[in-house]
Structure 1
Amino acid sequence: MNKMRIGFIITILGLLFFSYGCKNEETAPGKKKEDAPVAVQTSTVNSKEFQRVIGWVDDENVLLQLKKPGKITFETLNILTNKRKKIYETKNVISEVQISPDRDRFLVYSTSSKDKAVLDVISMAGTPLFTKSIKPQNIEFAWNHDNPDKMFMTTFDTDWNYQVFQWDIPSGSITKLDATSPFVSWYSDNLFVVNQKASAQNDRGDIFLEDIRDKSVKNLIVANVYQFAVSSNIFLTMEPGETEKSMVYNFRSIGFQSYYKYKAPRVYDELGTFFPFYDLNVEQESFLTFEPYESKKLNDHGGEFKLVKIDPKTKHNDTILELVNNEPILTSPSGKYCLYGYLFDRVVDLESGDMTYLIPHRDKIY
């Protein structure tokens, strides 16, 4: 009997000690409960209303374009929590929407009739900032990275003749620019770069630096390049490789000095060299692009590319996805995610390679 009592007492003391130890472990200073894993969620957006994702508002929120009865609405969507917020609506027909480089406003180019088009600049809070009425036409827009109050507008007619204009957004002033090429991009507040080609049939040209304030300033920067891209700290040129089977992504400083070259197989079609979709992340100074597995003529088959992330600072690259289609991509500010697809309706986690549909998706049945 004494042995049984002693055993019972030991058992009770042991349970009390275990409970006390667990409680102390839970409340011990310096120990934090790990956060639950965060993942991208498929939203509850009605797929019949969804038109497209415009782009990133910040690291977690994107801007949606939705079609409601008699109007178009713009909402922000949190890709992790599914929270949505309506910020703007219009009854006009939408032609183009662009988010500013600092992501605090967006441009809506729309038409209210066959004779009237409107340029509206809206804050991310939904407040109309500026509006400008123009004649409807085919326009490409290029926002100034250093000054969001400036924008290039390149217009094309039915014969693809072009004109380049500078739009001073606050004043509404639109000034024609004497540009020698439609391939123009801002380089700073007042400087811009132009890819000047000998003819429209040439797939290579020379890059010139010009000054919006002084027409006499025209300096040759790089010769014999296919295309270029500009960010606040990287000037990227796409150039011929050592053989016809290769091409080079040449990363340059803001002073145009080359500091890293990434070689990739060259893909081509009837018009010449074909460039897969890419995105130059300003904040992270990283480059995301689709890369073919070998040099060849482009065909209509899917899965011909791999998605590659390149860090020109560390000269390191990672393959994110294999055997995927070449479709538009847009990296989040932090570089953790990218939007993918012609409607940007998918999100790729660039760390894990996981891909999630933002909009409820049902595979086609054949």
Structure 2
Amino acid sequence: MILLKRKVSYQNHTLSILLIVMTLLLSACVNKDPQKSKTSAKPDKSKTPTTEQRTEWKLPVSPPEGEFYKFAGWISDTEVLYITNVEQTSNVYRYQLLTGKSALIYKSKYPIVTVEISPSKNYILIHSSPSSYEGLVTIIDAKGSQKLNKSFPSHELEFEWNPYNESKILVTKFAEDWTFSVSLLDIENSKTKELSIPQPFIKWMNEEEIAFLNWDENNPALFAPLIGMNLDDESKKPIFSSAIHFSTFRHLIMTVTVSKQDQSKAVYFFYDQSKKEIFSFSIPQLTNFSDWLVPFYDYNENKGQFITLQPLSSGEIDSYTSGFQLVLYDVKKGSNKVIMEGLENAPITISPSGYALLFGNSFENIIDLKAKKKYKLIKE
């Protein structure tokens, strides 16, 4: 009788435990948050590779053939162009930063002086040098197909690509004594037209109008008026009365002048195409012999960001040793931020999306603007 009671008691106890477990399971099912379950099933987007993650860059570059000469710039957000020299010839490569692969797109029979990439990145200008008195200009598309091949008698050449019509390029030809002439190169029709322009360094204002600082060689000055010129009828008109430097971007004009209140400051002004001022800032001014130094800069049109190197204090460039800050200015928002300190004043060019830039006399460095870090592109 006692044994029977213990058996019944044990069965009741077991049944109680089963009922408790079932209750807890049912409760868990009823109270489970469906939204929480959905969220936890999502992949972690922070781990999804993007072109802006520096960890994806495959560095340094190892050229397949020849001796590294220099990088030419960005051909896309993830690709750069570089040049190698092979004895008396040169090669142009596309380098994919995310895969670490180089692709040969052009072989030159002559040493390459420079490579210019069109504003849209669709075309590439290759300036090679068959001799000291001849410049050969070759235009290819981004895949390497040749569009034009033209020789210019010259000692040096300068180019200005029309961002409004990329079939047109201004070519300034310098002789050995630095006298010059300017031609308009029409890629589409494979023609050149000689222009009567009094200055060698020119910028495009729009598809048919150019601008230049009209320096007076007979009366050297520290400032010059900015003049606009229509290429159809060669008519000229003043744009601004005084500047020491200027540049143009699509729908934007930038001038550099000296502060009227403080001669030790340089002032950068930004105007729209109607000449209305939209932004300005000032930086310490460095003198360079008989004029002023304008540090290297670049502008990202997609984001409206102007990036420049600027000194920490004013003075003479020969005795200045404090290095340069890399500062990014948002022209649209009117804000700025320091990216890096202690850099030299060297050429810079921003990637199309504005997340990185090439830096150095041969563009041999790449700077991650978000992480604020600099990396070597090529082994020393």
Same fold? TM cut 0.5: yes
Q: 1:88-127 to 2 correspondence within 5 Å?
A: 88-113=106-131, 116-127=134-145
Structure 1 length as normaliser, TM-score? 0.87
Distance 1:44 1:210, change over 3 A: closer
Residue equivalent to 1:207: 226
Counterpart in 2 of 1:331? 350
Aligned position for 2:58: 41
Distance 1:248 1:138, change over 3 A: same
Runs ≥4 residues deviating over 6 A: 24-30
What aligned pairs does 1:124-163 form with structure 2 within 5 A after superposition?
A: 124-163=142-181
Q: Name the aligned partner's letter for residue 266 of structure 1.
A: Q
Quote the residue 2:4 is aligned against.
none
Q: CA deviation at 1:299?
A: 2.4
Shift of 1:303: 4.7
How much does 1:158 deviate?
Answer: 2.6
Aligned to 1:364: none
3-state SS in 2 of match to 1:299: helix
Q: Which residue of structure 1 aligns with residue 101 of structure 2? A: 83
Residue of structure 1 in register with 2:187 after alignment: 169
Structure 1 residue 30: Cα displacement: 6.2
Quote the Cα distance in structure 2 between the aligned partners of 1:78 and 1:25. 40
Per-residue CA deviations over 1:290-309 (Å, capped at 9, x if unaligned) read 11111111126655211100
In terms of fraction of residues, the more helix-rich structure is 2
Give the match for residue 7 of structure 2: none
1:239 aligned residue: 257
Structure 1 gap ranges (5+): 362-366
Q: Is 2:69 the partner of 1:51?
A: yes
Question: Cα RMSD (Å) of the superposition?
Answer: 2.9
Q: Which deviates further from its counterpart, 258-267 or 168-177? A: 168-177
1:299 aligns with 2:318: yes
**1:270 has 2:281 as partner:** no
Aligned positions, number: 351
Find 1:285's aligned residue among 301, 304, 311: 304
In structure 1, the residue matched to 2:244 is: 226
Cα distance 1:354–1:180, how it changes in 2: closer, same or farther (>3 A)? same
- Could you say if the C-alpha distance between residues 131 and 326 of structure 1 is closer, same or farther in structure 2, counting changes exceeding 3 Å? same
Q: CA offset at residue 114 of structure 1?
A: 5.3
Contact 1:232 1:282 in 2 (8 A): yes
C-alpha separation between the residues in 2 aligned to 1:30 and 1:223?
A: 64
Q: What's the CA shift for 1:282?
A: 2.4
Summarize deviations over 1:115-151 as a string: whole Å, max 9, x none.
6542110111110111112324311111101111111
Residues 1:179 and 2:197 are matched in the alignment: yes
* Greater C-alpha Rg: 2
Q: Identical aligned pairs, as a percentage?
A: 25
In structure 2, the residue corresponding to 1:41 is in which secondary structure?
coil
Q: Does 1:32 align with 2:43?
A: yes
Give the distance between the partners of 1:26 and 1:85, measured in 2 at CA.
Answer: 46
